[in-house]
Structure 1
Amino acid sequence: MTTRANGGALITGEQAEAIRRALKSSLYPGASDDSIEMVLSYCQAAGLDPMTKPVHIVPMKVSTGRKNADGWDIKEDRDVVMPGIGLYRINAARTGQYAGCSEPEFGPIRTMEMDREVWVDGANGRRQKTLKPFQLQYPEWCRVTVRKLLGSQVVEFSVKEYWLENYASKSDGTPNAMWEKRAFGQLAKCAEAQALRKAFPEAVGSQPTAEEMEGKDIIEGETIRAERRPPTAGAIARQAPAEPEDTEERRKLYASLQAFAKAGLDEYQGAWGRLSKEQRAMIGTSGHEALKAIAMNAGAEGVAGGGIAAEEVPL
């Protein structure tokens, strides 16, 4: 039996099987036969050479639309084939209009301080979960510019992506292994992917890259940040974090942060980065998310007089 390769040449069944074995043993070790078939089908439809690994197999949790007895969404583990940043570059280059991109430009370095859930040996010899201080330095944002040839002109398409809006987290809110190890590199890939989508919308499409989706879930066509947990027989039900106490000190701190949020996302993230661990706990997750929403809605309006980024958050 013969089939057609991506270039149109006929290949034998023996050659096709050799390609499958190479993909499974070298390029996608540990992948199931079904996932390898998905890769081959994707590459055949897009006219890609599977041996260059233009796509990635990403294990994800996909919402089934059903709920369990406790009211939580039921999700199932599924392998999803997604383009890598390399495929975005290939498709942009195929247009003949791609003129390269800039080196990533990073914003100020911020420090994340949180408590991370870890498993330790308890006094009774059994494993137990405890909290340990976690600290990570990360760039506040990354800017990448993609250049495109339009006639005789080179047009630039710039994108600025924020680390806090992109990083993939575990259930405790701390970054997953990849984002902890490559705090700069992962954000740079996300920014470049967004810039390529902006410059070449028809060539690269709107499907997110594997780098952007690593560690996130698919829910009704959208994505949320989540930990990819292995299925367990006795999964622990998630509990909503307790709301912080509404004290006079918290109200004053919240009002101060709200002023920064109304000045835009840059101003607010700068103020949040200067808070102590205790102050962040005082605001709480729900307060932080509400302030981020205010900051994102503020857009580029800014504050008259040049902004308030240099002001200090009251202690």
Structure 2
Amino acid sequence: MTSKANEAADTPRFRQLSDKDRALLRKGLCAKCTADDFELFVETCNKTGLDPFMRQIYPVFRPDRKANCDVMQIQVSIDGMRLVAERSGHYAGQVGPFWCGKDGSWKDVWLSDREYPVAAKVGVMRHDFKEVLWAAARFQSYVQTKFDGKPNQMWGKFPDVMIAKCAEALALRKAFPMELSGLYSTEEMSQADNPETANAGKLNVSPDTAPKTKSLETANVQETSPQQPIGADTRVNVERRARAIKALTAMLIDEAGLGLKAAEAADWIKRTVARDDITGMESLTDVEIARCMKTAKDAISKKVA
């Protein structure tokens, strides 16, 4: 009797990924995963019951400055989070979403084409809770931006939809912490690819706000070392990296340098480092910064000649 009870308790709640599923994932969605990353991803799929083939859950790789390499993060779609909530048996629907502008007045539909909503909020209900669980998300905290600091295509075209998904994800995780703990939606994590600082991270620096140099002599002493780990935990290294980024920005956009516009500079960097996933200066490795600076110096020298 006890043996049967234990066996039932150990039975997986959801369908486990088969060997065929694992082989397909290894060749496709998880091609960049290390062996450990892959096992972690598969285990998360099995425990949550989310289907990677339905894009309910998937791995994302982002540069880690300390490790100087791409690190895997597991993300889920908003549909996947809704599915987890529904399967719990306690989900009783939602209230909202609602949006507000700078006046702080909440609306059940966002109609403005001239400005983005400041925030959105969503309430999630549970059968075993008396009150609605509300969560609010500020647009500025989650918006994904381009090199020029403006919202990217999705956030610029569907700002109300994107920020509402962030608020819903927050509310769902708040209502179902056991099931959704540590799982974040794509919309919530979009901003993780943004530059970390306004001046050093983004290429939205105009000639008026760019670091001023008479002859760009600072670039000669501010290159980063290829052997130096990214984001080393010392003030010296952090400041050195920030100076290098500012110097590179000046070399690209100053009239004394290459004199590129923000969009042109972004394309130039992508070509130089041969990467299309660059989202800002902060996403460059130290090796890539050094390469860009050397290439820019050579280009400036030819331009002067």
Superposition TM-score, scaled by structure 1 size: 0.48
> In proportion to residue count, which structure has more strand?
1
Higher share in helix: 2
Greater relative CO (CA pairs within 8 A, separation 6+): 2
